[in-house]
């Protein structure tokens, strides 16, 4: 488990919120939790991206369907929640970015193996 600090650029200043990240937490879940802690609508998680702030001003964009615990580097616990570029227009439904399988290639190979054996 890691405790990370997520900053969201707001008009009234920068606020950090701490969130506990476990090995099961995917990016949409962490973004939803951060939005909720920042008093924003967690249903709009697909409109944001999670960026880890690294030393020397570098950034690491966490993949939209990634596991935050394994994607992050342990050298920094500072994150930024930023609106995606080309955000969906108002009134349109956000696209669900979660996939049905964590390891799609392994799942596909497993199905082929089962067909071969049985």
pTM: 0.69
Contact 21, 1 (CB under 8 A): yes
> By three-state DSSP, how is residue 106 classified?
helix
Share of the chain above pLDDT 90, in %: 41
- The domain that holds 12 is classified in CATH as 3.10.20.90
Domain count, the chain: 1
pLDDT digits (tens, 9 = 90+) for 17-48: 899 999 999 999 999 999 999 888 889 989 99
Mean pLDDT of 96-115: 59
Which position has the higher pLDDT, 90 or 111? Answer: 111
Helices of type H across 1-118: 27-37, 68-71, 104-117
Domain with 10 in it: 2-117
Computed over every residue of the chain, the mean pLDDT equals 80
């Amino acid at each position: 488990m890691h405790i990370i600090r997520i900053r969201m650029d707001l008009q009234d200043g920068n606020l950090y919120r701490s969130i506990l990240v476990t090995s099961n937490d995917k990016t949409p879940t962490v973004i939803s939790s951060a939005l909720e802690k920042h008093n924003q609508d967690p249903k709009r998680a697909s409109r944001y991206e999670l960026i880890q702030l690294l030393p020397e001003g570098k950034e690491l964009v966490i993949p939209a369907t990634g596991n935050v615990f394994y994607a992050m580097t342990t050298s920094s616990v500072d994150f930024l929640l930023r609106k995606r570029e080309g955000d969906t227009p108002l009134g349109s439904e956000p696209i669900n970015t979660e996939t049905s399988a964590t390891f799609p290639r392994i799942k596909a190979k497993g199905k082929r193996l089962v067909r071969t054996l049985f």
